Every structure is written in C-alpha cells, then in structure tokens.
Amino acid sequence: MKISVIGCGYLGAVHAAAMAELGHDVVGVDVDESKVEMLNSGRAPFFEPDLNDLVASGIASGRLRFTTEMADVEGARLHFITVGTPQREGSDSADMRFVDASIEALVPWLHPGDLVVGKSTVPVGTAARLAALVAKSAPGTNVAWNPEFLREGFAVKDTLAPDRLVYGIASGDETATTLLDEVYASILAAGTPRIVTDFATAELVKVSANAFLATKISFINAMAEIAEATGADVTQLADAIGHDVRIGRRFLNAGVGFGGGCLPKDIRAFRARAEELGIGESLAFLREVDSINLRRRERVVELAAQVLGGSVAGKRIAVLGLAFKPDSDDIRDSPALDIANRLAALHAVVVSTDPEAIENATRNYPDLSYARSAEEAAKGSELVILLTEWKDYRELDPVAFGSIVADRAIIDGRNCLDSVRWREAGWEYRSLGRP
C-alpha cells in the first residue's frame, strides 16, 4: 500500500522505516531539511538500535523516501500523523501546534477514500475534533486513531512486533478497519491482539498505559523512601511483591525514576486534560506520582553531600550516564542530566559521561564537563554516581575502577550494581532504598 508518514521524529522515522520493511511504499514528510537529507542517505537521525539498518534497507529497496514537500503524499491512501505533542511552555497541557499544523498542511492533498491515521499521543477528544475538521475540509476522507506504544531502545522491535494494535474508529467506519488491517496484515498474521474501539478509548489507552507505568515506578520509589527511613531493602521488596502475578516484577525498579519524552509530559497533559473536563480529582494522584519521581533526584543530591562530608561544593564527582535510559541518546527530561546540573549548580566539579548522549547533552548544556569514557570521567573523582544503567557501567570491575578514583565512593542511582562485590573491593557503596 502507498502510505505517507507526516512527522519523522522518533515515532515517525521508526514507523516509516518499519512500514517499508513490511513491504509498503512509504513517503515520510518532515519540515526539517537536514533530518530529511540524513534519512534519505540511509541514516537514522538519532541513536536507536537497528534503526540505521532498517532505514538503509528501506531506502535501498526504493520503498522508502523522505521529503519536505507535502505535495509528495499524492497517491498515498493512508496518512499517518506522527508529529510530537510536547509539553506546552508554562503549562502542563500538551502543545497541539504540530498536530494541527500537519493536518492543515495535509488537507489540500487529501482525496475521497483516504484515511488519516493519528498515532501521536493526544488529549482525549482530539480525534473527534480532527475528524470533524477533515470531514468539512476534505469530504470523503476519514480519520482513525491508532496509538503507538514503542519504547525507546526497542522502537524497531516494538513497531514490527507490537504487544497489541488499537484502532479508534468513527462508529460504523468499516473501511478504516479494513485499511488498517491491510497495512498491518503481517503483524496480525503473527497473532498480535487487535482492539477496535471508539476514538476516545483509543486515545485513552495510550495515556492511561503511560500513567499506569509512571505510577508503578513512583509506587516503588515511594517504597524506597519508606525503606530508607526503616532500614528495609526496596529491591528485595520489589522481588517479593513482584512474584505475585497480579503485581508483576517489571517496572518496579527503584532508582532515580522516570524521564524521557513520554512519561513525564504525558502524565502532566493527562491530568491537565482531566481538569479541563472538570474531573481533575480523578487524576489528582498523578501530581503525587510526578512529585515522588522528582524527589528522587533531590535525594541523590542529598546523598552525595552526605557521602562527601556535608557539601558537594568543590568536590570532584563523576556522573555515569546522561540519557534518560540505556540504549538511547535521548536526554529529554533525563533524571541523570538533571542531577548532574543540580550538582554543578551547587559548585561540584562534575564530569559526566554517556556512551551515546554526550553530543545531545553538550549541545543543550555546553557548560557541563564531559568525558568520553567512565574511566576518564572517574579519574581522580571523590564520588562516582551511576545514573543510567548502561551495560558498560553495570559490568564495571570495582577493583580496576577503584584504582582510577581518588576516593572509592559510589552512589548507585539505579540499584543495578552488586553491592557485595563493590563493598568487598573497598568501596563505600550507597544506593536508593537499600541499606
């Protein structure tokens, strides 16, 4: 099928390449010329495992191309909207500017029988609003909402082999379901569950899934606070409650909490939308979820001061990790980068490193100091703080690493190191929610 993908950021670039991989003829549209150029040369504009290969093979096959011209969507029947919905400046709600602009730019190129498929994460009510707009300006064109659940670091896998497909369609719109089934035929043939529902439910599936995941993480981080006050061990607690299949062990890793381009802004926008709808109380708990999450960052700063004898000022601190999670170069709302900045603001001499995110971090925070490796960052440090659990850091040898630093002191902000091994190697080992 010939399809267009409007917006080639994280979601769109992966979606376009994945759709070409499924055999479709795909044109990706983005306003950013340099991004389009890079994608057309067969390279991903950000770090994501397997994406380079997928883009390169799509371009080589002739089934994938990128453009800045909306006119190039001509001939496509199905148009995916994959632009970003960031947090609006000075507010918790979602900034819908890019969604609205992409629809406006797309409308003149739509033909009767086309289907516009929203994938962006949007406030509930958006699909109905856009459907009314499209029905008026491009009669005969329909809208569907098909949220995306991809995780960074697993984006290619999550797009080609998703847990589930959700179609939000207007009542009685059988053709939308037929078209989407055709696009996802091979995914459906693999037995992937498919839920066909109304617009509002489809929109809510996405935000409620993210709200649930954020709540799960903040729940265990609240338990970490309790554990810190009582001498309990939050990791053992998570293991024990996680054995209950109703609870499950995943997303119960206590540490510096969630960041990234989705969970933080999505829980804020969801709560803001509930307030607009006059039902703010229903999601008031999400404010607490957000607060618990942010408190963990402050806790690391406090712990650092404690380890360093009362103040971090003038102390040399190595920060391992800048990305919001491993296998990503994404620093949006990254707890690691936030903590590095907080320490620097308190006049610590912070040297940060990350296997992939240094470039992004340097561009946004040129005043921080960066090192190319964990060893370089830790040279002469009085404290090491691990904030993103990259495999390289999880596998550090505490004995060899101990010979580089000035003082063997480490804060494991992700509870991902073997405390016994580190202590045996002479380290003062501190973590979050564990004695």
Instruction: Catalog residues that contact ligand UDX under the rule CB under 6 A.
Output: 149-152, 210, 213, 217, 251-253, 255, 257-260, 262-263, 324-325
Amino acid identity for residue 198 in this structure: D
What are the residues whose beta carbons fall under 8 Å from the beta carbon of 351, sequence distance 6 or more? 316, 317, 318, 319, 369, 370, 371, 376, 377, 381
Q: How far is the CB of 360 from ligand UDX (least distance, A)?
A: 15
Q: How far is the CB of 175 from ligand UDX (least distance, A)?
A: 27
CA distances from 3 to 33, 125, 372 (A): 20, 25, 41
80 bridge partner residues: 5, 117
Q: Closer to ligand UDX by CB, 142 or 253: give it.
A: 253
Q: What share of the chain is helix, strand, coil (3-state, %, to 5)?
A: 45, 15, 40
Burial of 12 (0-12, 13-18, 19+ CB in 10 A): buried
Give the DSSP H or E segment for 144.
strand 142-145
Q: List the 194-197 sheet strands across, edge first.
A: 64-67, 25-29, 2-6, 78-81, 115-118, 142-145, 165-169, 194-197
Amino acid identity for residue 143 in this structure: V
The residue length of the chain stands at 435
Amino acid identity for residue 415 in this structure: N
Q: Closer to ligand UDX by CB, 70 or 301: give it.
A: 301
- Answer yes or no: 416 catalytic: no
25 bridge partner residues: 2
Q: How far is the CB of 314 from ligand UDX (least distance, A)?
A: 30
**Which DSSP symbol is given to 197?**
E
Q: Closer to ligand UDX by CB, 293 or 381: give it.
A: 293
Amino acid identity for residue 119 in this structure: K
Count of Cβ atoms closer than 10 Å to residue 247 Cβ: 14
Nearest-5° Cα angle at 323, 373 to 385: 60
Given the residues 13, 227, 262, 274, the one annotated as active site: 262
**Which DSSP symbol is given to 116?**
E
CA distances from 45 to 41, 81, 250, 318 (A): 10, 19, 30, 28
Cβ-count burial 106-142 (b if 16+ within 10 Å, e if not) = bbebbeeebbbbbbbbbbbebbbbbbeebeeebeebb
Q: How far is the CB of 52 from ligand UDX (least distance, A)?
A: 18
Q: How far is the CB of 293 from ligand UDX (least distance, A)?
A: 8
Query: Following CA atoms 309, 312, 315, 317 in sequence, which dihedral angle do they give, to the nearest 10 degrees?
Result: 110
Q: Are 357 and 365 in contact (CB under 8 A)?
A: no
Q: How far is the CB of 431 from ligand UDX (least distance, A)?
A: 13
Please give the positions annotated as active site. Answer: 262
